[in-house]
Amino acid sequence: MAAPAASRTAKSAARAVATGQQPAVGAPVSPPVAAPGQTAGVPSELFYRYPGLEKTADLPALREFIGECTRCKLHSSRTNLVFGTGNPQAELMFVGEAPGADEDLRGEPFVGRAGQLLTDIIERGMGMTRAEVYICNVIKCRPPDNRNPEPDEVAACEPFLFRQIDLVRPRAIVGLGTFAVQALLKVKTPISKLRGNWQEVRGVKLMPTFHPAYLLRNPADKRLVWADIQEVMRLLGKPIPQRGPRR
């Protein structure tokens, strides 16, 4: 028996949204359904935007779902989509703003000068390795000239970030810099007022702190980031090394 026309239209609309295309005007879509394991109170519309996203069972499946993304205008100028890297079951996740030139070329987050400083924080400061943590960005494609991502670009990309958080399920997230923290928390509060104070996103503790690129310009504030990182280490039950990151 043939499926009703409305059902066929809804399925076509769902496929169109998942691939970044716009469904036909007036095409019905199913009501939002919370993802399995999703924290109570978490906005399900993040998954509603891309039907099927909630069914991705691990990071490789999520990366496959994203594909060679054309869901926003950033795809036209990127070299590589920068998904994320590290331990898929990490206790600790770092979230930055967007890829820069080095990251765009290599397809890996935080590999430029700011990335070297982040590695120093992780390895010398925390006594861990990059392979033990998970690192990603709010935006997966480099904005031209490293400009701030625009609202439509954030809207297109944030469901993938939040699915990464759901799949890794870290004990703590370190939000790096103004843009990343404001995007995670949906606030406009300056990072100078947010840093050092625990927040929560998708049921996970979030520690806002300054971006490593900011520290390259303002090295005196490394002491503030080190204080924030020590709070994260206490939460994770990690011993605090006597020797912190290079000053």
Q: What is the pLDDT of residue 28?
A: 32
Q: State which residues form the domain around 154.
A: 57-236
Report the alpha-carbon distance of residue 200 to residue 172 in Å, rounded: 9
Q: What is the pLDDT of residue 5?
A: 41
- Does 113 fall in a domain? yes
Distances (CA, A) of 111 to 104, 172, 195, 215, 228: 10, 22, 24, 16, 22
- Does 87 fall in a domain? yes
Q: Within a 10 A sphere around the Cβ of 217, how many other Cβ atoms?
A: 8
- Does 219 fall in a domain? yes
| Model pLDDT for residues 170-197, shown as the tens digit of each residue | 999 999 999 999 999 999 999 999 999 9
Q: What is the pLDDT of residue 130?
A: 97
Q: What is the pLDDT of residue 18?
A: 43
Q: Exposure of 239 by Cβ count < 10 A (0-12 exposed, 13-18 middle, 19+ buried)?
A: exposed
- Does 186 fall in a domain? yes
- Does 18 fall in a domain? no
Report the alpha-carbon distance of residue 127 to residue 117 in Å, rounded: 14
- Does 34 fall in a domain? no
Q: What is the pLDDT of residue 56?
A: 96
- Does 9 fall in a domain? no
Q: What is the pLDDT of residue 40?
A: 40
Q: What is the CATH number of the domain that holds 92?
A: 3.40.470.10
Q: What is the pTM of this model?
A: 0.81
Q: What is the pLDDT of residue 49?
A: 86
- Does 124 fall in a domain? yes
Structural domain count of the chain: 1
pLDDT tens, per residue, the chain with 247 residues: 444 444 443 444 444 444 444 333 333 333 334 444 444 444 555 666 899 999 999 999 999 999 999 999 999 999 999 999 999 999 999 999 999 999 999 999 999 999 999 999 999 999 999 999 999 999 999 999 989 899 999 999 999 999 999 999 999 999 999 999 999 999 999 999 999 999 999 999 999 999 999 999 999 999 999 999 999 999 999 998 776 556 5
Q: What is the pLDDT of residue 110?
A: 97
Q: What is the pLDDT of residue 244?
A: 56
Contact 175, 209 (CB under 8 A): yes
